[in-house]
Amino acid sequence: MNGPLLFLPLIPLLPFAGFLINGVLGGRLPKPLVTFVGLVAPLLSFSIVARDAFLVWSGSLALPVAEQGGPAWISIGTLHITFGAVFDQLSMVMLLIVTGVGFLIHVYSVGYMADDKSYARYFSYLNLFLFFMTTLVLAGNVLLMFVGWEGVGLASYLLIGFWFTKDSASNAGKKAFIVNRVGDFGFLIGIFLLLATFGTLSFSEISAALAASPGWQGNVFNVIALCLLFGATGKSAQLPLYIWLPDAMEGPTPVSALIHAATMVTAGVYMICRTHVLFNHAPFALGTVAVVGAATAFFAATMGLVQNDIKRVLAYSTISQLGYMFLGCGVAAYSAAIFHLMTHAFFKALLFLGAGAVIHSLGGEQDMRKMGGLWKTMPVTFACMTAAVMAICGIPPFAGFFSKDAILYATFLHYGAGGKILWFVGVVTALLTALYMFRLWYMTFLGNSRSEVHHPHPTPASMLVPMTILGALSLCGGWIGIEHFGGFLEPVLGEMPTKSGSAVTEWILTGIAVLLAIEGWLIIDKYYRRKPERPAQLAARVPGAYNLLFNKYYVDEFYGWTVVKPVLVVSRYVLGWFIDKAVIGGAVWLLGGTATLTGAILQRWQSGNIRSYAAWLAAAAAAVLLFIVVPWTSVLAGIGIHIHMAGH
Amino acid sequence: MISPLASEVPVSWYLFLSAALFCLGVAGFLIKRNLITVFMSIELMLNAVNLSFVAFAWQWHAVKGQIFVFFVMMVAAAEAAVGLAIIIAVYRARTTLAVDRIDLMKL
């Protein structure tokens, strides 16, 4: 290989080693050693990525780098699938986010999980997640990506159900896993179709085949892209498969920050960007991505408005922000989607970590109605959370402003009138975002304390330092600007579709979005600071709308009646009673009964008496002798029976 | 070099004697209850076969049969040693040598 060594395989393998050590030996190791193993693996991975990124930055490494990854993993006929990795601008950015934010959240977890008795198990799962996530990002072909894709689903399941003795936690884990499986079904069909259409699963070969014939059109691309999109809606919690993410908040809060906000749920966005050449050949599917994204952003934001659990507000906000990223993908502004993915990773991880710090200090309280006034007791957390809230609402100069602005601007320019509608939905969602985020901010940190905890736990430094770093990133993470960021990603993702737009339009659109965000702040300020009795009055005035939102549009109930109930009924009565108990159970009983009966008869032979055995032996020997010595053919012929032996 | 006396006894006599001894052995094995007697019946059967081996060897002037007899005697000696050891062990454990009471295989 030419050029410097990149140590790409080590990036996933180091966390895997950490998983093995802590998973196998963790229970017997002293706690500091568990911490050391758990932290050093992601730190080394991050160092490798950072070093490779530095090589790129200093110009001594030309991207993309594709590693063959040793011998073929699967070889069937002309199909050869390897463990090959691809390191280009896109996977570099993604790896920096995954390992960087991942490491910070590992550090945070040291403080947050300090008193948990399954400390080693927690860190082994967290390292396992990093292993699969980096595999997903580095994968050079769709199948290897699918391995990582399934693996992060497994890690997510294990961590949501981390406190598995709690019924709600283990149910939430199962729900997440099963809903993801529904999406994975679409992804798998997409993989099969890719294989049938292109004869290869390598990203670079598929892109090359499509680039070689730009006029190549066909419904098969739409079908493949829609299948991939269905997979992405499962993993990235979009309509119609978003329902697992709010329940996933049953897991430990750092897990929510890492897996269910910053990294894993963005895998769908990453997958669409990875296969964006295909989506560019599938206009209908691309439009569907945009519509799904905008619709999810809006609906999730409305549901977030009325939640009282601090983590659930953040969960709906994550779904909503992921909708923005899908919207960005859907208008072919892939760089903007990745830009928002990055800033979102910073501020949403921080929001969850801040929420975790609040929950930690209040001894496990998650209900915002029992918080308030925490800015006095938790000044650092308050400052960091403020930065994150400003960032997610898109208030300049915080990070979220730049990325959300880039997506909305690209949406406005795309698809003619349809794009204007999508833009309008996006801007209204920006207002809703400001409403629910500032509501959270006011209810948690400002006003008078409504908490029953009078002496909040102090927040340890291991939790404050990662929050401070993420706070700085939430402030500065967007300053690079979409022009530079998009320019950097251009070799992979193509140029931003906004180059044709005028600066004046952009300034006007930006102004509208910022004004709406500030308007949202003012509304919440009025409702939650100056007239705190107003929200309840408003809810009482429109009980129908309030209940609809509070019960999340009854989507869970709808799925419960249309999908879960029928499946359960069929499982219990048809499969359980009839197939399992009657058919399979009956067959087993019949077989067993026959064997027992035959045994009971034959058992009498086994008398245990040596002489009876010997008598049988002697009788059998005599019978054999008789058979050999007596000339049966002639004896039988004598009494009129003729036997014709073969060959005679 | 055929001995004059031997030439007067046909080989079938030896075989009849051998068969009679073998049947005695089988009958003893089936009828007797004492383990040592059973064991002796087995030896009797072995020696009945030995006799027919030697008779045939003499009849056909082939030495192979005689060599076989040595093998059988050697194995029988080893078997006797092991068998008697087992019988002693069984007696120590069960204080009886009646075969129909040594039936632990039966539940």
A223's CB contacts (< 8 A; 6+ apart) are A193
Task: Note whether A611 contacts B103, CB cutoff 8 Å.
Answer: no
Element (H, E) at A67: strand A65-67
What pLDDT score does A570 carry? 92
Q: Provide the shortest C-alpha distance from residue A32 to chain B (in Å).
A: 58
Cα–chain-centroid distance for residue A317? 16
**Closest alpha carbon to A264 in A164, A162, A173, A130:** A130
Q: Check whether A648 has a pLDDT greater than 70.
A: no
Task: Note whether B30 contacts A609, CB cutoff 8 Å.
Answer: no
Query: Do A303 and A316 form a contact (C-beta atoms < 8 A)?
Result: yes
Burial of residue A283 (CB within 10 Å: 0-12, 13-18, 19+) is middle
Q: How far apart are CA A80 and CA A103, in angstroms?
A: 35
Contact residues on chain B for A606, CB-CB shorter than 8 A: 105-106
**Closest alpha carbon to A281 in A376, A207, A355, A364:** A207
597-616 of A, contacting B, C-beta below 8 A: 606-611, 614-615
What pLDDT score does B77 carry? 93
Interface contacts A/B by beta carbons within 8 Å:
28
pLDDT band at residue B107 under the 50/70/90 scheme:
very low
CA atoms within 13 A on the CB side of A464: 11
**Closest alpha carbon to A120 in A16, A45, A12, A21:** A21
pLDDT band at residue A499 under the 50/70/90 scheme:
low
Please give the angle made by the CA atoms of B59, B63 and B69, to the nearest 5 degrees: 95
The ipTM of this complex is 0.72
For residue range A217-231, what is the model confidence (pLDDT) as tens digits? Answer: 778 889 999 999 999
For residue range A527-583, what is the model confidence (pLDDT) as tens digits? Answer: 888 777 778 888 888 888 888 888 888 888 888 888 889 999 999 999 989 999 999
pLDDT band at residue B105 under the 50/70/90 scheme:
low
Three-state DSSP class for residue B88: helix
Three-state DSSP class for residue A633: helix
**Closest alpha carbon to A171 in A180, A161, A162:** A161
Task: Note whether B29 contacts A611, CB cutoff 8 Å.
Answer: yes
Query: Do A451 and A358 form a contact (C-beta atoms < 8 A)?
Result: no
A8's CB contacts (< 8 A; 6+ apart) are A52, A65, A67, A85, A87, A138
A283-304 helix and A310-330 helix, angle to the nearest 10 degrees:
160
For residues A437-451, one letter each, b for 16 or more C-beta atoms within 10 angstroms of the residue's C-beta and e for the rest, the string is bbbbbbbbbbbebeb
DSSP letter (8 states) at residue A88: S
Please give the angle made by the CA atoms of A84, A90 and A94, to the nearest 5 degrees: 90
Q: Provide the shortest C-alpha distance from residue A632 to chain B (in Å).
A: 24
Q: What is the mean pLDDT of residues A253-263?
A: 90
Task: Note whether A615 contacts B104, CB cutoff 8 Å.
Answer: no
Q: Provide the shortest C-alpha distance from residue A613 to chain B (in Å).
A: 9
How much helix, strand and coil, in percent to the nearest 5, is found in chain A? 75, 5, 20
Contact residues on chain B for A607, CB-CB shorter than 8 A: 103, 106
Task: Note whether A611 contacts B100, CB cutoff 8 Å.
Answer: yes
Query: Do A116 and A122 form a contact (C-beta atoms < 8 A)?
Result: yes
A461-476 helix and A89-112 helix, angle to the nearest 10 degrees:
150
pLDDT band at residue A42 under the 50/70/90 scheme:
very high
Tell me the backbone φ, ψ of residue A71, rounded to 5 degrees.
Answer: -70, 170
Give the C-alpha distances (Å, rounded to integers) separating A544 from A548, A549, A550, A553: 6, 9, 10, 11
Task: Note whether A608 contacts B104, CB cutoff 8 Å.
Answer: yes
A13's CB contacts (< 8 A; 6+ apart) are A131
Which chain B residue's Cα is nearest to A604? B106
Residues of chain B whose beta carbon is less than 8 angstroms from a beta carbon of chain A are 26, 29-31, 38, 99-100, 102-106
DSSP letter (8 states) at residue A162: S
Which chain A residue's Cα is nearest to B103? A608
Query: Do A66 and A82 form a contact (C-beta atoms < 8 A)?
Result: no
Q: Could you please report the per-residue DSSP string of B12-31? A: HHHHHHHHHHHHHHHHHHHH
Q: Check whether A419 has a pLDDT greater than 50.
A: yes
Q: Provide the shortest C-alpha distance from residue A597 to chain B (in Å).
A: 18
Task: Note whether B99 contacts A608, CB cutoff 8 Å.
Answer: no
What pLDDT score does A500 carry? 64
Name the maximum alpha-carbon separation found in chain A.
Answer: 124
Query: Do A368 and A403 form a contact (C-beta atoms < 8 A)?
Result: no
Cα–chain-centroid distance for residue B67? 17
Q: Which of B30, B104, B106 sits opposite A607 (nearest CB)?
A: B106
Q: Which of A609, A610, A618 sits opposite B26 (nearest CB)?
A: A618
Cα–chain-centroid distance for residue A453? 34
Which chain B residue's Cα is nearest to A619? B26
For residue range A309-350, what is the model confidence (pLDDT) as tens digits? Answer: 999 999 999 999 999 999 999 998 899 999 999 999 999 999
User: What is the length of chain B?
Assistant: 107
What pLDDT score does B6 carry? 55
Beta partners for A141? Answer: A202
